[in-house]
Amino acid sequence: MERLPKKERHQSLMRMIEENPFVTDRELTRQLKVSIQTIRLDRMELGIPELRERMKQMAEHSYDQVKSLSLEEVIGDIVDLQLDKSGISIFEIREEHVFSRTKIARGHNVFAQANSLAVAVINDEIALTSSADIRFLRQVRLGEKCIAKAYVRTHAAQKAKVEVFTYVGDEMVFQGNFVVYRSAAE
């Protein structure tokens, strides 16, 4: 792929960040075939903050309050939440989340992020996982950021079906279909 002219590169950069606000500078360098310094300069010229600042801005502006859990009980950082509709959380895999020899994330940590998001997205004081059908699609490694996206597909008086997809970059690493019990009072 040939290098894009600056104006086209700026348009591509803005589109890519708009489509995925969690995209890293490294991923952008790979996709746009330029150096990390070029990406940083382009972001500065366009007034686009770095990933950490974009995440912070999203967290400050964009979500309902979790009712079913305390925020400390949610695994990962919720950056978007629309109760009974959808939610997004980010979870960085650190040393305490991996097997020491292989540096591969322990599966229960990836599951815990998805499960807690599936429960957090429910608009009820009481929400508990009733069942889960899950698939791990690839290993997650130390330092990778897991972005979980939850979608409430159906909700009745006592049960909701929540689908959760977890990504590292553009690659799906986990998929789960959760049935979440909720109290009957709505």
58-79 tens-digit pLDDT? 665 555 677 777 777 889 988 8
67-121 tens-digit pLDDT? 777 777 889 988 888 999 999 999 999 999 999 999 999 999 999 999 999 999 9
What order do you get walking across the sheet with 86-92 strand by strand? 77-82, 86-92, 145-155, 159-168, 171-182, 127-136
Query: Where do we find the tokens 């650190």?
Result: 94
Count of beta carbons in the 10 Å neighbourhood of residue 54: 17
Amino acid identity at 88: I
Report whether 168 contacts 110 (CB < 8 A): no
* Residue 171: both structure tokens together: 């690659």
Domains of the chain, CATH where assigned: 6-58 (1.10.10.10), 62-182 (3.10.129.10)
| pTM tops 0.95, yes or no | no
Count of beta carbons in the 10 Å neighbourhood of residue 30: 11
Per DSSP, the three-state class of 12 is helix
